[in-house]
Structure 1
Amino acid sequence: MKFTFAHNNINVLDLDRSLAFYKKALNLVENRRWDNPDFILVYLGDGHSQHQLELTWLKDRTAPYNLGDNEMHLAFHVDDYDGAHTLHSQMGCICFENEGMGLYFISDPDGYWIEIMPFRKVHEQE
């Protein structure tokens, strides 16, 4: 039996704001969309891997999501760490830096954390 990652899902309060954030911050683009009377699902991809991020927008939702103490996060490695750090600093979305580990986290419009690490860090851990 073989399992393969397909996607991760997060719920967003403002779909347009989230799409703009993920495009600007991580260069994720919309691969497909499913429009339902009660919700919209948008699948974002990085153009390199098959893994996708599914954004779910509930059309009648008006209150921000309570993420609680959940330490769930997405993680990306980047080939230009300094350039990414500069972009994210300019966007004002860096929420935590761990210089000792050589990585940092950004926060999306709904408060989800996204880990950013240099490409080499992924391979050093293997």
Structure 2
Amino acid sequence: MKFTFNHNNINVLDLERSIKFYEENLGLKETRRIQPEHGEFTLVFMGDGVTSHQLELTYLRDRKEPYNLGDNEFHLAFEVDDMEAAYELHKKNGVICYENKEMGIYFINDPDGYWIEIIPKKDRK
């Protein structure tokens, strides 16, 4: 038996704003959408076009209050091949929320307060 990663899910308050954030800041594109006729919820899957792993954005129509993220100790992480260009994009977009220069990483904040770690691509041998 073998398990492989498929997707991670986060809940969002403003679906279009979140889609725009993930497109502009991480280059993700919508790969599929599930929306029942009654419209109570919408699931949007976003992918990087390289791996099969996806981010599922869940929008609940009747939810109005922000999600409680607790201490926000969980996060997503993205590897980038041009750390300097990524940093400049995120700085311009005003989404950097934490930097660790010693480790050579930083975090950005999505519209709902989820942290996303940005790490430089490393050669793996």
Above 0.5 in TM-score?
Answer: yes
Which residue is equivalent to 1:6?
A: 6
Which residue is equivalent to 1:88?
A: 90
Within 5 Å, which residues of 2 pair with 1:16-95?
A: 16-36=16-36, 37=38, 38-95=40-97
- The count of corresponding residues between Structure 1 and Structure 2 is 123
Q: Letter of the aligned partner of 1:21 in structure 2?
A: F
**Which of structure 1's runs of 4+ aligned residues deviate more than 4 A?**
none
The structural deviation recorded for 1:92 is 0.4
Q: Letter of the aligned partner of 1:15 in structure 2?
A: L
Following the alignment from structure 1 to structure 2, what is the Cα–Cα distance between the partners of residues 69 and 96? Answer: 15
Following the alignment from structure 1 to structure 2, what is the Cα–Cα distance between the partners of residues 31 and 104? Answer: 27
How does the TM-score come out when normalised to structure 2? 0.95
Structure with a larger share of its residues in helix = 1
- What RMSD over aligned residues (CA atoms) do the two structures have, in Å? 1.1
Query: What are the ranges of 5 or more consecutive residues in structure 2 without an aligned counterpart?
Result: none
Following the alignment from structure 2 to structure 1, what is the Cα–Cα distance between the partners of residues 113 and 72? Answer: 11
Identity level (%)? 62
How does the TM-score come out when normalised to structure 1? 0.94
